[in-house]
Structure 1
Amino acid sequence: MKKLVVAGLMMSSFAFGQLKKDTLKEVDVKLDVNPFTATGRSEKKEKPLPLSKKGQMFVFFGWNRGAFSRSDIHFTGNGYDFQLNNVQARDKPTKFGIVYFDPSWFTVTQYNFRVGYFIKDNLALVLGIDHMKYVMKQNQTVDISGTISDPKYAGMVHNGQVDLADTQFLTFEHTDGLNYENLGLEKYKNLIHKKNIDLVWSYGAGIGVMFPKSNIKLFGNERSDRFHVAGMGTDIRSSLNLVFWKNWMLRVEGKAGYINMWDIKTTLNNKPDKARQDFVFGQVLGGIGYTFNTKKYN
């Protein structure tokens, strides 16, 4: 009887051992997952680098300094059709102070605003407003050609030139301002990636409409001062973006472009009087922005 019991215990021990061994095999099979070939495991998404992934966005606000090439300005209206050649102009920066940070006064400064959305990895569609200021230099004598019927102003022309210094003949500004509303495409490349700091370089181009509020006083007429779609512009641009704490961004950008305005209003009413000009511009801007993701990352 003892032999039968011992034999039974040995057989049950052997069976239990086989079952336990088989069970462990199954467990091993389930746990032995190849990370390169498994399809059942859900891949963990990592938060992307800033300014690099589709679905990311950024907003930006800053200030600019601008420079403009010489320009021929052609004026037409009732009793005149003339052109001023090689007119010089400059920008009009506001003296630094609280006006740069007070939202109720921000349009007084030469400012820039951007909203960017990454339509592909490292490629962003950027909507922007460049609020530049353009002021014709008053203390200059320029060549003039064409006709002026008013004897007072025709008498200011001497030997094919007119002196603009006394402001009676013309004052000419886009100071409220030279508004370039543009849509651009920008490519981004990460140069430095640290724990809390990224340095990102971008380059691109844009095109848009000119929506100036021109301050013009010609021949003693009431000053023209109204917003108006006057023409178009285009540009190329490049920037360096320092992103810190994953979201905040300091941006420095340089750009160059071409502006053509063929419908500048020179009188306050709806008279057909107008001017046209085209010129090349350069701009340097800087400011602060914020980046964020429209997609969730673990």
Structure 2
Amino acid sequence: MKKLLVVGLMMSNFVFAQNTKSDSTKYDRSVEEDLAYAKSEQQKTKAEKKEKPLPLSKKGQVFVFYGWNRAAYSNSDIHFTGNGYDFQLNNVTAQDRPTKFGIVYFDPSWFTVTQYNFRIGYFIKDNLALVLGIDHMKYVMDQNQTVNFKGHISDPEYAAMVQNGQVNLADEKFLTFEHTDGLNYENLGLEKYQNLIHKKNIDLVWSYGAGIGFMFPKSNVKLFGNERSDRFHVAGMGTDIRSSINLVFWKNWMLRVEGKAGYINMWDIKTTLNNKPDKARQDFVFGQVLAGIGYTFNTKKYK
């Protein structure tokens, strides 16, 4: 009986010891797996933190841009009012006036001479930027044209220039009319961005959007032989739609080509040095193509 009891105790100890060892081994293996998993997740998180986001894509990113433009304008009816006259010239044609290419395009002291564009954008959400812009265009009425006339002029000298409901503007005595210092469109827009190509050092990004703003021209106008009016002032409003292709290289530098179309309405164009009542108003559609260079960067730090 004693022998049987001793054998039973030895077997139970053996089984208990085996179970304890098995449970301990299982427990130890689980802890090791948990530690390995935690370590891999930590390494993954560090890798994600080290990787900078794509350019022109993440909330908090900023870009600045400077470039040059060419513009085209629809025909426009220009209405003039003042002391002794109230008339409209119909279907007036106009062109832009690009500066001849040279050092003036790169000399900061002369940058306002060219037809230039400036942008600063901030990404308020992923892929959505709020963009503040200045479009310095130039608008020059074609001098060699005959236009339809409607209205009246009390001065007999200038009234005599109207023949059969038309007036010839070629000799510049009746009118010269320009927004050359310039046709300044100060605008605020929203632009949506989408990455098309992502390589090691090159990204191709497409954007589209719309803007609205005010017109702040310096209009060079000489009407009826009066002294030329050329004062900066708020003359009206503008709005536009736009789309661009952006080539981002070396992570930060950017080449942009943009096209835009818009509508301008100016109801307070200064035509003489008299503040009142001499003024003109006009509205027209414009198209613009621009290109230039920019820089994009993150406002958030990535370790």
The TM-score with structure 1 as length reference comes to 0.90
Match of 2:217 among 205, 209, 212: 212
1:224 equivalent to 2:229? Answer yes
Please say if 1:96 is aligned against 2:62: no
Q: Counterpart of 1:224 in 2: which secondary structure?
A: coil
Q: Does 1:139 align with 2:144?
A: yes
Q: Corresponding residue for 1:31?
A: 35
Counterpart selection for 1:285 from 271, 286, 290: 290
Q: Which amino acid aligns with 1:28?
A: E
In structure 2, what is the Cα distance between the partners aligned to 1:242 and 1:42?
29
Distance 1:41 1:23, change over 3 A: farther
In the TM superposition, 1:7-18 aligns within 5 A as none
RMSD over equivalenced CA pairs, Å = 2.4
- Give 1:57's aligned amino acid: V
Whether 1:66 and 2:86 are equivalent positions in the alignment is no
The 3 A distance-change label for structure 1 pair 192 and 176 is same
Q: CA deviation at 1:158?
A: 0.1
Code of the residue aligned with 1:189 in structure 2: it is: Q
Q: Distance in 1 between matches of 2:64 and 2:291?
A: 13
CA shift, 1:266, in A, is: 0.6
1:58 deviates by: 0.1
How far apart in 1 are the matches of 2:197 and 2:76? 42
Q: Give SS of 2:301's match.
A: coil
Partner of 1:51: 56
Q: How far, CA to CA, are the matches of 1:163 and 1:199 in structure 2?
A: 50
Q: Which amino acid in structure 1 is aligned with residue 252 of structure 2?
A: N
Query: CA offsets per residue over residues 217-272 of structure 1, 9 Å max, x none?
Result: 00000100000100000000000000000000000000000000000011123232
Find the aligned partners of 2:201 and 2:38 in 1 and give their Cα distance. Answer: 33
In structure 2, what is the equivalent of residue 187 of structure 1? Answer: 192
Provide closer, same or farther for how the CA distance between residues 39 and 99 of structure 1 changes in structure 2, counting only shifts above 3 A: closer
Q: What SS class does the counterpart of residue 32 from structure 1 fall into? A: helix
Gaps of 5+ in 1: 1-13
What is the CA deviation profile of residues 24-46 of structure 1, one whole-angstrom value per residue up to 9, with x for unaligned ones?
A: 5475144232689x799855323
Q: CA deviation at 1:296?
A: 1.3
1:6 aligns with none
Q: Percent identity?
A: 82
Number of aligned residue pairs: 284
Q: Secondary structure of 1:222's match? A: coil
2:91 to 86, 91, 98: 86
Q: Distance in 1 between matches of 2:72 and 2:44?
A: 58
Partners in 2 of 1:266 and 1:69 — Cα distance? Answer: 21
Matched letter for residue 145 of structure 2: Q
Amino acid at match of 2:88: Q
CA distance in 2, matches of 1:87, 1:224: 20
Match of 1:158 among 156, 163, 182: 163
CA distance in 2, matches of 1:128, 1:285: 13
Q: Does 1:276 align with 2:278?
A: no
Tell me the distance in 1 between the aligned counterparts of 2:261 and 2:189.
13
User: Structure 1: which amino acid aligns with 2:116?
Assistant: Y
Counterpart of 2:71, as a letter, is G
CA distance in 2, matches of 1:247, 1:55: 14
Aligned to 2:10: none
Q: 1:269 to 1:240 in 2, by over 3 A?
A: same
Give CA deviations for 1:125-160 in whole Å, capped at 9, x if unaligned: 000000000000000000000010000000000000
Distance 1:275 1:35, change over 3 A: farther
Q: In the alignment, what sits opposite 1:8?
A: none
Find the counterpart in structure 2 of residue 170 from structure 1: 175
Inter-partner Cα distance in structure 1 for 2:150 and 2:169: 15
- Amino acid corresponding to residue 237 of structure 1 in structure 2: R
In structure 2, runs of 5+ residues without a counterpart are 1-16
Match of residue 116 from structure 1? 121
TM-score between the two structures when normalised by the length of structure 2: 0.88
